[in-house]
A and B are shown apart, each in its own frame.
Chain A
């Protein structure tokens, strides 16, 4: 069976679902036996989901519109 270190070496690609069937098989064999890596995998998946669905740093129109309007006004004035 592979070690936790070997599991972690493939972890980035596994999280993105980008490993070959042979590698996946090894990783899943390890996961079935290793509680620590199970938690790592599960909490990482949940992290990605939470971060992705958070809509963080979305600029509301109430803020972005005045900025764009100011810029466009300046460009129109510059043009004369």
Chain B
């Protein structure tokens, strides 16, 4: 028996049939997940596409990768299973023992040795992977597709090991008795100097393999992601070289991450965020911070989970769930049935615990693919994460083991920090200086929401008074300017309550505006600003901005006029970055239509 109960599924259950056909039996690892048949399907789809189907590298080499990683992670369950599969494919017992001990003695071709070396590095020290490792594979004759497969097979090996550590299934076979002691290679973090330096601008970046263009129109799964996420993350775009492997992952996402029958979507996103952070994967941290922001969680709460979830506002049971997931995701061999019992006593159901294990496993799959393919970020990670990353990895045995709690306020680099501390201590001079620094930001935020100067100037006074009243409550979990904008926003919204026909800032973009298309306009002059004075143009732009719906106006003003980054605007307005981008484009195109009559080629230059 594994850590959790099992359900009896029909022998005709499709994934079981597939395994019966491919291996001749149904592994206990699948039986251990039968409480949620959808996650069994997810694993079966990944295994079929990544491992069983004919691809660019031979099946036997894929099995060697799986076995070597299982051995490296001391995963006795997978070691027994994969040894038996390799044996059935014709590998000698001697060679299997060599693989279990040290692959370099296993009498393999130079190319096979190189790929195992690569896979073990990716499995162990993913953040230290770089172009040189990819080049090493290429010199051994690996092409783009083979490299792609090597990475995804490694990810599958990681996925299976996390599952087996978290579920504790009985071995399917007697583990092989090893003739000699395993030569233990150093584990833990990479030696100093191997971790990539975030500030080395010259370092060549990914992605490591080309990604042919696919659109939502020609590749249906992209249309589905576009709808569910509001955009297509680079994680998926970067994998278009192999649509078959990409589709299998999307099927897995569909079965593991989207359902809400066990854990909630927010709980799963928190797991993905906390474990990705522990794995030092800033790409996935940025994505999941954004997903949480999009689901209504304040940005500073998501940032806090990335840095240290113990200090977050989550309820205690959810913190314990994240403790479990982080332990499983970073040092799975330490997991025992006691960890599972602890979650049960906190009120989690077996289905929820199973899902937590599977989400953690899938997270590590995704982290491995991202690092292995060098996929470029969609968004900036939280500013504190970059700094902590260096701190956390520099000596700790496991990334999350740091002395004491990490608070955002200690680590955030904010030019206002010193003045804020003085103002919190009661210095009016410091407060006045802060206010003068941010006058334009406050005023523009108010204009963006209220849309008229008199009201905005009134609201400005109230904003400043409110800011002073509450400044002691500012904990430094965000930048001071972000906090100030939220005070301005709340003050403006209070002013709006007195008005009729209030426009909502929070309307969703996807439903109502799904089919937006820009209207055709005629070509403009080469240098449209030449024919108008600066003040004419300013008046024209201001009038145009004031006739935009408020939710677009806010984004255009903060992004294009105040010139904040998309990430900053997203934090200030409590929107995801994709939502900010959608609104920004819409607002810009509306401005374009507004300006067009004044700048088209035939217009003789007068502002009407």
Contacts and interface: CB of A to CB of B under 8 A. Distances in A.
Nearest to B581: A12
Contact of A50 (B207, B541, B581): B541
B432 A72 contact: yes
A23 B214 CA distance: 8
A73 B457 CA distance: 17
Contacts of B592: 43-44, 47
A63 B517 contact: no
A76 B428 contact: yes
A54 B210 CA distance: 40
B523 A42 contact: yes
Q: Report whether over half of chain B's contact residues are helix, strand or loop; otherwise say mixed.
A: helix
Q: Report whether over half of chain A's contact residues are helix, strand or loop; otherwise say mixed.
A: helix
A61 to B, nearest CB: 9
Interface in B193-221: 207, 210-213, 215-218
Given A55-B538, A57-B443, A67 B588 contact: no
A58 interface: yes
A32 interface: no
Given A52-B563, A76-B428, A43 B524 contact: yes
Contacts of B584: 12
How big is chain B's contact interface, by range?
35 or more
A60 B446 CA distance: 15
B542 A54 contact: yes
| Residue among B213, B447, B545 having the largest count of chain A Cβ atoms under 10 Å | B213
Nearest to B544: A51
Interface in B567-587: 581-582, 584-585
B535 to A, nearest CB: 10
Given A56-B561, A59-B443, A68 B521 contact: no
B439 A9 contact: no
Nearest to B232: A9
A54 B523 contact: no
B461 to A, nearest CB: 6
Contact of A12 (B428, B522, B537, B582): B582
B310 interface: no
B217 A5 contact: yes
B580 to A, nearest CB: 10
Nearest to B426: A79
Contacts of A3: 217
Contact of A46 (B431, B461, B589, B599): B599
Interface in B487-518: 517-518
Contacts of A36: 520
A39 B521 contact: yes
B460 A56 contact: no
A40 interface: yes
How big is chain A's contact interface, by range?
35 or more
A34 to B, nearest CB: 12
A54 B428 contact: no
Interface in B404-440: 428, 431-432, 435-436, 439-440
A33 interface: no
Contact of A75 (B210, B428, B439, B537): B428
B522 A59 contact: no
B210 A22 contact: yes
Contacts of B589: 44, 47
Given A44-B592, A56-B545, A6 B432 contact: no
Nearest to B439: A64
Nearest to A38: B523
A2 to B, nearest CB: 6
B138 interface: no
A21 B592 CA distance: 27
Contact of A22 (B213, B436, B524): B213
Contact of B211 (A20, A48, A53): A20
B557 interface: yes
| Residue among A8, A9, A39, A79 having the largest count of chain B Cβ atoms under 10 Å | A9
B428 A42 contact: no
Contact of A47 (B431, B447, B542, B588): B588
B596 interface: yes
A68 B595 contact: no
- A-B CB proximity, top 3 nearest: A54-B541, A12-B585, A47-B592
Given A50-B537, A56-B542, A67-B460, 20 more contacts: A2-B213, A6-B215, A6-B216, A8-B517, A16-B581, A22-B210, A39-B522, A47-B595, A50-B529, A51-B560, A52-B561, A53-B529, A54-B541, A56-B561, A67-B457, A68-B435, A71-B461, A71-B464, A76-B428, A79-B428
14 contacts: A2-B215, A12-B584, A20-B234, A23-B213, A39-B522, A44-B589, A47-B589, A54-B538, A54-B561, A56-B545, A68-B464, A71-B464, A75-B465, A79-B428
Interface of B: 207, 210-213, 215-218, 226, 234, 237-238, 376, 428, 431-432, 435-436, 439-440, 443-444, 447, 457, 460-461, 464-465, 468, 517-518, 520-524, 528-529, 537-538, 541-542, 545, 556-557, 560-561, 563, 581-582, 584-585, 588-589, 591-592, 595-596, 599
Interface of A: 2-3, 5-6, 8-9, 11-13, 15-16, 20, 22-23, 25-26, 36, 39-40, 42-44, 46-59, 63-64, 67-68, 70-72, 74-76, 79
